[in-house]
Amino acid sequence: MARPRKTTNDDILDAAERVVARLGAAGLSIDAVAKEAGVSKAMVVYDHKSKSALLEALVDRRVKADMAYVDQCVANAADTPHPELFGRIASAEKKLDEIDKAVAVTVSASMSNDDGLQRIMRAWTDLDLKAMASGQRPRAALMAYLALMGFYSTELFGFHSWSDRERREILDGLRSVYLSFADM
């Protein structure tokens, strides 16, 4: 007889992402995640005491994965004029999927009254802003970074989607912003 499969925290967070993608922020609940993961509600509550804690864990996992990807892109951009910026621009070349977008909308909807989510997002933003200030021409890097965040947010929140060719042209344009910006 086969042993029952052990459900991990990642399995529960994967289930939470699927719930969010299917039902949005309003549909995220301990019950819905337990059902999606095929586990008891008690198992979800054991690891995540509340919907808020579950959402924080989901965001924390997403942020850590994104930071690891950005770090890899920054390392690959070591020979550019500003590796921190150019690495972040390169990381935006990866197209966002529907789960990325659903989690972003859910986080946005939940952030106004959740101090934990606000802390996570502020810390992430602070790291990026420090990275922009750390290289040569920090003001030019900041301007290009802010434009990158506008581009990224427009796609992340599903306001607009560009073709692959348009995306490449926009990202090349962001690199040009850095290279042509007159630092004062």
- The pLDDT, as a whole number, for residue 46 is 86
Please tell me the distance from the alpha carbon of residue 33 to that of residue 13, in angstroms, as a whole number. Answer: 8
Domain 9-180: CATH superfamily is Tetracycline Repressor, domain 2 (1.10.357.10)
Query: What pLDDT is attached to residue 27?
Result: 84
pLDDT digits (tens, 9 = 90+) for 89-146: 999 998 888 888 887 887 777 777 778 878 888 998 999 999 999 988 999 999 999 9
Position 5 scores a pLDDT of 57
Q: How far apart are CA 173 and CA 148, in angstroms?
A: 10
Which of 63, 86, 87 is closest to 73 using CA atoms?
Answer: 87
pTM here is 0.83
Parse the chain into domains and list their residue ranges. Answer: 9-180
pLDDT value of residue 8: 84
- Provide, rounded to the nearest whole percent, the portion of the chain with pLDDT above 70: 97
At residue 164, does pLDDT exceed 70? yes
Cβ burial, residue 104 (10 Å; 0-12/13-18/19+): buried
